[in-house]
């Protein structure tokens, strides 16, 4: 195959894989949560309820595409698209296996951070454009949470960057051939994982859509496919954060016997399951606790991690 064909296959294969995986995740999460809570979960549509997501998608296509007459219409339509596009763009630099990636940017890690910082617009604008009090509060809360946790999300990864000597995700994986980075960078990994939960609005950080105080937060007025975009965006975000965790701290595609791509998906799947397990076990904090936790615990921790890592690496070199 010519290089052009390889790239085209990668691009379309990636998009199909991401969408199938995210739709499948919705079923997987419901089944797994049901297992934790000793009930059945969706088991009617197809074998083990596997086709539940397909049925949901078909249903959503035929739902009314309602734009509120009181909303700011162009912004209302753009906001969910921003979330989906920004998350999908991050997948453009994810290194699945040697040669299996859309673009091998030498600033790949920073590209991921830049795209995740675009996520704040989606929620803030969705809340503002809906012209609904709950939406506005939910959107502002969501945006405040995203930006608070974004600061140390980047900082927590700098230990990895120093150990690998590059922002390139392929180089970062290759640098882990001797030892996966989660051992020396345990603090960095923990901080990044917490930030990942917060960026994707997963329990315990799902305050923006806390249904008992804000109806449905920033997407109260959304319905049909635009609502599905927010929903799907959350699952694509989970897959993205899990994939980044694997690449940055757990050796990416590295592993014995099995082909690289299989290792990558196995590891990513473990983290996705962990995300769901956490949802099944943790309660939700208060908003002021959430903000204080970010600024007072996580930010100093990630700064300390950076300073200590740089010191140890320099000391070992000299």
Partner 1 sequence: METVFYISAAIAVLSTLMVVTRRNAVHALLYLIVSLLAVAVILFVLGGPMVAVLEVIVYAGAIMVLFVFVIIVLNIGHEAVRQERQWLRPGNWIGPALLTGVLAAELVYILAGRAAGVASGEQVSPAALGASLFGPYVLGVEMASLLLLAALVGAYHLGRRTTTRQEQGSDGIDKR
Partner 2 sequence: MPLIATMPLWPLVAYFGVVVVMVAGILALSWVLGQRRRDRQTGQPYESGMVSTGSARGPLSAEFYLIAMFFVIFDLEAVFLFAYAIAYDRLGWAGYVEMLIFVGVLAAALGYLWKVGALDWGTSRYGKGRLPTSAAGGGDSTRGKS
Binding site for partner 1 (CB under 8 A): 72, 74-75, 78, 105-107, 110-111, 113-114, 117-118, 120-121, 124-125, 127-129, 136-137, 139-141, 143, 147, 150, 154, 165, 167, 213, 287-288
Phi, psi of 202 (to 5 degrees): -90, 150
Min dist. Cβ of residue 1 to partner 1 (A): 24
Read out DSSP for 189-240? Answer: HHHHHHHHHHHTT-TTS-GGG-HHHHTTGGGTT--HHHHHHHHHHHHHHHHH
Q: Which does 72 bind (CB under 5 to 8 A by kind): partner 1, partner 2, none?
A: partner 1
- With respect to partner 2, which residue has the nearer C-beta, 33 or 210? 210
Contact 196, 241 (CB under 8 A): yes
Binding partner at 75 among partner 1, partner 2, none, C-beta below 5 to 8 Å by kind:
partner 1
Closest by Cα among 233, 18, 203 to 118: 233
Nearer to partner 2, 224 or 280 (CB): 224
CB of 257 to partner 1, least distance (A): 35
| Cα gap 97→101, rounded to integer Å | 7
Quote the least distance from Cβ 194 to partner 2, whole Å.
16
Q: Which residues of 79-105 are buried (b: 16+ CB within 10 A; e: fewer)?
A: bbebbbebbbbbbbbbbbbeebbbeeb
Shortest distance in whole angstroms from residue 34 CB to partner 2: 27
Q: Between 141 and 226, whose beta carbon lies closer to partner 1?
A: 141
Q: Which is nearer to partner 2, 276 or 290 (CB)?
A: 290
Q: Which of 315, 306, 152, 122 is nearest to 219 (CA)?
A: 122
Q: Give the separation between CA 77 and CA 12, rounded to whole angstroms.
A: 25
**Smaller CB separation from partner 1, 25 or 93:** 93
Smallest distance, Å, CB 137 to partner 1? Answer: 6
Would you say 155 and 119 are in contact if contact means Cβ atoms under 8 Å apart? no
Q: Are residues 197 and 205 in contact, defined by beta-carbon separation less than 8 angstroms?
A: yes
Nearest distance from C-beta of residue 285 to partner 2, angstroms: 11
Contact 111, 21 (CB under 8 A): no
- Selection from partner 2, partner 1, none that 118 binds (CB < 5 to 8 A by kind) is partner 1
Instruction: Rank residues 28 and 152 by Cβ distance to partner 1 and give the closer one.
Output: 152
Minimum distance of partner 1 from residue 215's CB (angstroms): 14
* Residue 37 or 318 with smaller CB distance to partner 1: 318
* Residue 270 binding target from partner 1, partner 2, none, CB below 5 to 8 Å by type: none
């Amino acid at each position: 195959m010519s290089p052009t064909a390889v790239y085209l296959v990668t691009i379309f294969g990636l998009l199909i894989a991401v969408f199938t995986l995210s739709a499948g995740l919705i079923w997987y999460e419901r089944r797994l949560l049901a297992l934790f809570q000793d009930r059945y979960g969706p088991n009617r549509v197809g074998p083990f309820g596997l086709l539940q997501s397909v049925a949901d998608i078909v249903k959503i296509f035929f739902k009314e595409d309602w734009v509120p007459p009181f909303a700011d219409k162009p912004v209302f339509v753009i906001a969910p698209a921003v979330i989906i596009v920004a998350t999908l763009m991050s997948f453009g630099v994810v290194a699945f296996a040697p040669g299996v990636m859309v673009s091998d940017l030498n600033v790949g890690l920073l590209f991921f951070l830049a795209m995740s910082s675009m996520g704040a617009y989606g929620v803030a604008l969705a809340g503002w454009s809906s012209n609904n009090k709950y939406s506005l509060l939910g959107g502002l809360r969501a945006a405040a949470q995203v930006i608070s946790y974004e600061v140390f999300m980047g900082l927590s990864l700098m230990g990895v960057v120093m150990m690998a000597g590059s922002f390139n995700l392929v180089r970062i994986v290759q640098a882990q051939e001797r030892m996966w980075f989660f051992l020396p960078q345990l603090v960095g990994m923990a901080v990044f994982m917490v930030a990942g939960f917060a960026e994707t609005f997963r329990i315990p950080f799902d305050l923006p859509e806390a249904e008992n105080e804000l109806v449905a937060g920033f997407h109260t007025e959304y319905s049909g496919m635009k609502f599905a975009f927010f929903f799907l965006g959350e699952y694509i975000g989970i897959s993205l954060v899990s994939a980044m965790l694997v690449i940055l701290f757990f050796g990416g595609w590295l592993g014995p016997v099995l082909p690289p791509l299989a290792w990558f998906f196995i590891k990513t799947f473990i983290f996705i399951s962990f995300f769901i397990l956490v949802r099944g076990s943790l309660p939700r904090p208060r908003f002021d606790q959430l903000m204080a936790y970010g600024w007072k615990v996580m930010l100093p921790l990630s700064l300390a991690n950076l300073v200590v890592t740089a010191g140890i690496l320099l000391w070992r070199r000299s």
